[in-house]
Structure 1
């Protein structure tokens, strides 16, 4: 018994394991075709390539395919001289495949090693996923005939199954008619067979007797032009069927004789099996490269979606960071509350004098709880509103970026509310700003515990020093109008000098940097919660780009194993 070499079978098993990992979930224009190609290769490996590589001497699977009404079922019955498959007048005609094998070969086809995903049935069924297996001793052992559904069936499942069965065949018997032999669908499949070097025979059925020679000559020329010059061509005249519904024996005798000779010659069967197997394996190389490139493009597209969303939230965080350092926050309510709090004009005149001379008065200004709460409240409201505004803008901008592509639009349409921040974002922003202010107070308390600064710090109070530090954080005057520069600039200078009088210039710089870094981190964390919604969508797409490299590796393995295998199998015996 001859069998396919283990390296080739092993490579096909590796391919079978890797193929399901090749996912194309993002609706790129090419994605449906990639999914069909991956599914088709998977079926071909399971249905034909792997079992054939493991057993080169197994019976041949001869698939009888063709267009609607071409007479496939009638031809099969006529070849076997028995009504084993039922021709139909309704469309689609053959609704489930019928496989006819010699009893000695039945175990091979009934075992599920070939076409494993089709349910076996011993009786006729009307189900495109069931295979009606018939034992018939008029068919010689060594090959089986499979009557397939129409290649142009109006039923999608039948049409897909017809292609799957043809891809599983060792040999095609392609049936067409005098009226339809130029149809595009049939030639599309025949050209695919030619590209894979599949062994093909063509039956030109229902030929007007007076035009048979001309039709045969024309079709023969077309086969040569389309890459199938070696295809065996049979012509069957158009006649009235007998009472048994079959063609006259004489009309199908050449086909019967050819099949019988093929079945009787093990070397001839091996040649057929080997040619189709080798051609299919060679054809996989380009197909797998296409799938690998498709996975990479999926990964690139998913990464681009993630980058687009991340960029919008990064820009939003940068804008908040700028607004909290360029003086923008020293406007409106915050500025008004701070001026009320410190009595800016009078304090500015006295800040150059020693703080000790103003201790009693300063204590009165800066320990006033109501005024301090007013400043903190204004800061909280203004800063929280700034964060919410930019968070919402980032969501809208990210969605706008995604909708610039058709696949991005589909994702947005499938995720309602993506352009809005979550319901809890406003509250989270308010809480984050409140917690930041509390941390600023703790920061100045820690800094004010030193012996040199303690008296001055106590004279002013935690609320005053904390508020002053926040003003310094907001202090830079870039972005303010001329009038605002004068007002806010003086206010920030007051806060700066106040803190320097308590802690010293270097310490103030460090405190401001720490407070600003903490604020930036909190804003970034808030925006990250919104960005996560976008990234979660891209993660759910589950595109593993490493699969592309694995597909390339399997293609290389198949090329090497196939080259060794087919060279060995075609080498003359004894060498």
Structure 2
């Protein structure tokens, strides 16, 4: 594969890769980056691929400039015929007009040049239609394209003007004596300098007495901005001919320059190579900008995701803490447990009567409804803690996201994210009930051994399960001084009861396992809530490989360009 073929393949690869550059979050500069990505894609398809495929294809000279600069009149005057209609109303929305020799018409009607524009044989009020005019008096090898205003108040016109200028082999930039120093044209001319494109600047409607001064000042401005080699023409301000054209003598210099390009194949090749090489070089910093922008998007999305994950992890830790620091041994749970086991005399004599515990707990077994009441109290209380934690996680995440403009926009679009989902309270209650079932299965499996069966049957699964949950809640870190004695005695009773059935080591193991099962249930239900945030971020997510893919495409383009241009030069036109 020779250098030119490598360059064509590199452009095809770049065209396929640029779409991975996505900028869904409204970070600073995101809109500009979206525009840049679109601009690169257009330039590759509209100009770089067709020109690299055929260096000998006809040149495209785009006639661009500011509103009211007289572009259409200049094109008609160069052709000495009314080919394109000057705009009367502003903004002018009309199809751009491409004028070429009949021998070149097939090239410009093909999909190789400006493939996104629809070809038409008449000028329409549609900026996405390309009106092609075959004009025998225009020399073959060079086409003129009358483009929309670069400073049009119509977005579509401005966008198309930029697209067409990026598709040009050379620019015929039209301004006026009154507006040649305006900022917008110089932004485009700076882009021309970056691409090293062949540029001709036409100062239209220049007062005859000011031609020298304006020309000198404009030449100085061009030189200061890296465009010293640009051709400079001045068209005096005077009445048009009866057929609406500029006098022949006023445009003869421009006609001669264009005729030279059209007639000399070597000159055309020089223009093509110079603009192509400059365009390739200008892509490198643009692709670096896209790579950095995509990385910033990924970082911003990762930060939002990390904030949501951290808040829900904190919620899970809060539930775990409440379920292990004694906080739950208050209120309804404590009351229902005391109803089940009693207090006072039994608690004072527990050490002496541990061998006779089976006699006492056989009475508990007959009080199964009280054991169920304990389980209900546990379910209601722990579910409330879990719901509160989930609500707090949703609110905290919404607050954290709202500290950035992009996060604020997400919350504004999905305000329900600031609170738990409607289904969460029931899901939380179901998770706690499921955990209680886990605990019951745990103690039931442990009580199946022959040695323990009699003791286990004496108290029943529900009482043993409730006692194990009380042991899980046993620590007193979250209690007041007054509560410590009550809760401490309560948890000690539950532990002694279980130790009488299972043994000390087994009770410790069962408590650890029950805590793990609770964490699993809580983590699962909170993780499901977290998916509401994750789903939105997934929809906004950029390809995590995008920076690497873009970097690889840029490297491949640089390598192909070196191979293609090693033996070529891009001389300035004289």
- Report the TM-score range of the alignment, normalised by the length of the smaller protein: over 0.9
Match of 2:547 in 1: 548
The Cα of 1:92 is off from its aligned counterpart by 2.2
**Aligned pairs for 1:124-273 within 5 A:** 124-273=123-272
1:426 counterpart = 2:425: yes
Match of 2:331 in 1: 332
Match of 1:461 in 2: 460
Between 347-356 and 299-308, report the one with greater CA deviation: 347-356
Provide the rounded CA distance (Å) in 1 between the counterparts of 2:96 and 2:363: 96
Provide the rounded CA distance (Å) in 1 between the counterparts of 2:160 and 2:289: 23
Match of 1:27 in 2: 26
Instruction: Give deviations 1:25-68, integer Å, cap 9, x for gaps.
Output: 11111210110000000000000001000000000000000001
Provide the rounded CA distance (Å) in 2 between the counterparts of 1:31 and 1:210: 47
Tell me if the contact between 1:12 and 1:45 (Cα under 8 Å) persists in the aligned partners.
yes
Tell me if the contact between 2:270 and 2:570 (Cα under 8 Å) persists in the aligned partners.
no
Provide the rounded CA distance (Å) in 2 between the counterparts of 1:359 and 1:217: 112
Q: TM-score, normalised by structure 2?
A: 0.97
Instruction: Give deviations 1:245-271, integer Å, cap 9, x for gaps.
Output: 001111111111111111010110010
Match of 2:369 in 1: 370
Match of 2:386 in 1: 387
Distance of aligned partners of 1:571 and 1:410 in 2 relative to their CA distance in 1, 3 Å threshold: closer
State the SS of the aligned residue for 2:149: coil
Provide the rounded CA distance (Å) in 1 between the counterparts of 2:81 and 2:358: 116
The Cα of 1:465 is off from its aligned counterpart by 1.2
Provide the rounded CA distance (Å) in 2 between the counterparts of 1:556 and 1:439: 58
Provide the rounded CA distance (Å) in 1 between the counterparts of 2:328 and 2:522: 15
State the SS of the aligned residue for 2:465: helix
1:527 counterpart = 2:499: no
The Cα of 1:356 is off from its aligned counterpart by 5.0
Provide the rounded CA distance (Å) in 2 between the counterparts of 1:95 and 1:180: 23
Provide the rounded CA distance (Å) in 2 between the counterparts of 1:413 and 1:300: 21
Provide the rounded CA distance (Å) in 2 between the counterparts of 1:304 and 1:495: 45
Match of 1:494 in 2: 493
**Aligned pairs for 1:340-489 within 5 A:** 340-489=339-488
Match of 1:297 in 2: 296
The Cα of 1:571 is off from its aligned counterpart by 10
Instruction: Give deviations 1:375-421, integer Å, cap 9, x for gaps.
Output: 11110110000000000000000111100100000011111301111
Provide the rounded CA distance (Å) in 1 between the counterparts of 2:179 and 2:442: 87
Match of 2:510 in 1: 511
The Cα of 1:365 is off from its aligned counterpart by 2.1
State the SS of the aligned residue for 2:463: helix
Provide the rounded CA distance (Å) in 1 between the counterparts of 2:214 and 2:548: 49
Match of 1:72 in 2: 71
State the SS of the aligned residue for 1:267: helix
The Cα of 1:448 is off from its aligned counterpart by 1.0
The Cα of 1:94 is off from its aligned counterpart by 6.0
Tell me if the contact between 1:351 and 1:498 (Cα under 8 Å) persists in the aligned partners.
no
The Cα of 1:354 is off from its aligned counterpart by 4.6
The Cα of 1:440 is off from its aligned counterpart by 1.1
Instruction: Give deviations 1:501-554, integer Å, cap 9, x for gaps.
Output: 111111001111111110111001010111000001110013112111111111
Structure 2 stretches of 5 or more lacking a match? Answer: none
Match of 2:7 in 1: 8
Tell me if the contact between 1:101 and 1:141 (Cα under 8 Å) persists in the aligned partners.
yes
State the SS of the aligned residue for 1:449: coil
Instruction: Give deviations 1:407-458, integer Å, cap 9, x for gaps.
Output: 0000111113011111111111111111211221121111111122112112
After superposition, the CA RMSD in angstroms is 1.4
Provide the rounded CA distance (Å) in 2 between the counterparts of 1:262 and 1:4: 26
Instruction: Give deviations 1:348-389, integer Å, cap 9, x for gaps.
Output: 123223545243332112441221121111101100000000
Q: How many residues align?
A: 570
Tell me if the contact between 1:201 and 1:231 (Cα under 8 Å) persists in the aligned partners.
yes
Provide the rounded CA distance (Å) in 2 between the counterparts of 1:44 and 1:121: 22
Provide the rounded CA distance (Å) in 1 between the counterparts of 2:557 and 2:334: 74
State the SS of the aligned residue for 1:149: strand
Provide the rounded CA distance (Å) in 1 between the counterparts of 2:358 and 2:181: 104
Tell me if the contact between 1:4 and 1:54 (Cα under 8 Å) persists in the aligned partners.
no
The Cα of 1:569 is off from its aligned counterpart by 3.1
Instruction: Give deviations 1:452-487, integer Å, cap 9, x for gaps.
Output: 211211222222211110000000111211111111
Tell me if the contact between 2:141 and 2:262 (Cα under 8 Å) persists in the aligned partners.
yes
Tell me if the contact between 2:93 and 2:126 (Cα under 8 Å) persists in the aligned partners.
no
Provide the rounded CA distance (Å) in 2 between the counterparts of 1:100 and 1:344: 103
State the SS of the aligned residue for 1:399: helix
Provide the rounded CA distance (Å) in 1 between the counterparts of 2:447 and 2:229: 96
Provide the rounded CA distance (Å) in 1 between the counterparts of 2:125 and 2:30: 32
Q: TM-score, normalised by structure 1?
A: 0.97
Tell me if the contact between 1:196 and 1:280 (Cα under 8 Å) persists in the aligned partners.
yes
Instruction: Give deviations 1:88-107, integer Å, cap 9, x for gaps.
Output: 22112462210000000000
Provide the rounded CA distance (Å) in 1 between the counterparts of 2:545 and 2:6: 23
Provide the rounded CA distance (Å) in 2 between the counterparts of 1:64 and 1:267: 22
Tell me if the contact between 1:102 and 1:140 (Cα under 8 Å) persists in the aligned partners.
yes
Q: Which runs of 4+ in 1 moved over 4 A?
A: none
Structure 1 stretches of 5 or more lacking a match? Answer: none
Tell me if the contact between 2:277 and 2:570 (Cα under 8 Å) persists in the aligned partners.
no
The Cα of 1:169 is off from its aligned counterpart by 0.3
